[in-house]
Amino acid sequence: MNWQLLLPEYPTRRPEWVLKDIRLMFFKCVKWQFEETMDPINCPYHYFCDSAYPGNYSPAVDILVLIFTTASYFATLFVMVMDILGSEKLGNLSKRYLLPSGPVSLPLIILVLAKGNRINTIFPLSFAGPAILQLVHISALSFDGKAVKDIKYVFFEASTISGILHASLYLDSILLPYYTGLDALMLSSFSGECLSCVCRKDTLIVGGRLVSYRGWSVTTFLVVGALCLRIVCRVSGERTGHILLVKSFLEGLGWILITKDSIYLSRNSPPEKLTLHVAVFGGIFVLICLHGLKKVCSQIIRLYTKCNKKRIRAIYFAGKMEET
């Protein structure tokens, strides 16, 4: 998508700081008011922003969130690399507490997303928020605490499910005003009656029509469904059967949709903060590739073990035949 974030003619005659305030007003507006228009041909739909933005948090908050998010990412990267190498240095509980979907990081991520609408200077969550949720999805799917006792396992997975659902809702509270304002800014013309007064040819919908990504989405429900089936398999002692097959299918489909969402966002997000976009989605792609590498390595090891068992069995029976 070719984004052209240029304001219409009316406000472009104003100083740069006014243009910045107009963009902020559009992107952070949580209530667009429709009003009657006297020009049904040129201005069939007239809207204006009917909410006040309380302002950004201090840049120090953005820096703290950036440090925390970076640490969570590298913790996930470290755990995935250690799993690929087959290292047992990290116990299951240690992995659980390191990962973004764990009981330490996930509540902090929920808190960050709940206040994320005002985190908007160095590390704006309207850009980085989707990648944070994808990081939680990836860490939840890539790690399954098989050695954890059943009661703790159920508790951990249930808290992860609840956390993912809350994080998705809070992310949408950041994204929906941003995408709505983006639609209002790009597909409207200013009427001149106020700074946010715009004329449109069609109605303005929540979330706009330009970007379709949502945190509360099929991807989230697939991840949650896979985690629910993990609990069912663990409690019932299911090792084979239809439930395990459905769980594996949901996990695989979840990974496919996470990849699809990342590609979509990297191609369709506005060009502002380009370096930030490249960093966050490049990091997500690295984790996805590592998971694919892990699956390939596990399949190779499984095939090698199977062939080795057949060879040992063949040698054993050959020796028996010679004895007889």
Q: Report how far apart, in Å, the C-alpha atoms of 179 and of each of 126, 186, 311 are.
A: 9, 11, 60
Per-residue pLDDT tens for 187-203?
888 888 888 889 998 89
Quote the CA–CA distance of 167 and 137 in Å, as a whole number: 11
Quote the CA–CA distance of 144 and 287 in Å, as a whole number: 16
Name the average pLDDT for the chain.
83
- With b for 16 or more beta-carbon neighbours within 10 A and e for fewer, the 123-156 pattern comes to bbbbbbbbbbbbbbbbbbbbbbbeebeeeebeeb
Percentage of the chain beyond pLDDT 70 is: 83
Average pLDDT over residues 287-296: 88
Q: Report the pLDDT value the prediction gives residue 278, as an integer from 0 to 100.
A: 81
Q: Which of 128, 137, 126 is CA-nearest to residue 259?
A: 137
Percentage of the chain beyond pLDDT 90 is: 41
Region of poorest pLDDT, from 24-33, 89-98, 181-190, 209-218:
89-98
Quote the CA–CA distance of 217 and 220 in Å, as a whole number: 5
Q: Report the pLDDT value the prediction gives residue 9, as an integer from 0 to 100.
A: 45
Contact 76, 139 (CB under 8 A): yes
Quote the CA–CA distance of 125 and 136 in Å, as a whole number: 15
Q: What's the pTM?
A: 0.86
Instruction: Phi first, then psi: give them for residue 156, nearest 5 degrees.
Output: -60, -45
Per-residue pLDDT tens for 97-116?
888 998 889 999 999 999 99
Quote the CA–CA distance of 78 and 72 in Å, as a whole number: 10
Average pLDDT over residues 77-93: 76
More confident residue, 242 or 65: 65
Average pLDDT over residues 133-147: 86
Q: Report the pLDDT value the prediction gives residue 147, as an integer from 0 to 100.
A: 58
Average pLDDT over residues 192-218: 89
* pLDDT exceeds cutoff 50 at 64: yes
Q: Report the pLDDT value the prediction gives residue 5, as an integer from 0 to 100.
A: 44
Q: Report how far apart, in Å, the C-alpha atoms of 57 and of each of 137, 167, 201 are.
A: 27, 20, 36
- Chain center to CA of 271: 19
Contact 117, 177 (CB under 8 A): yes
Average pLDDT over residues 82-98: 73
3-state secondary structure labels for all residues of 71-84: HHHHHHHHHHHHHH
* pLDDT exceeds cutoff 70 at 257: yes
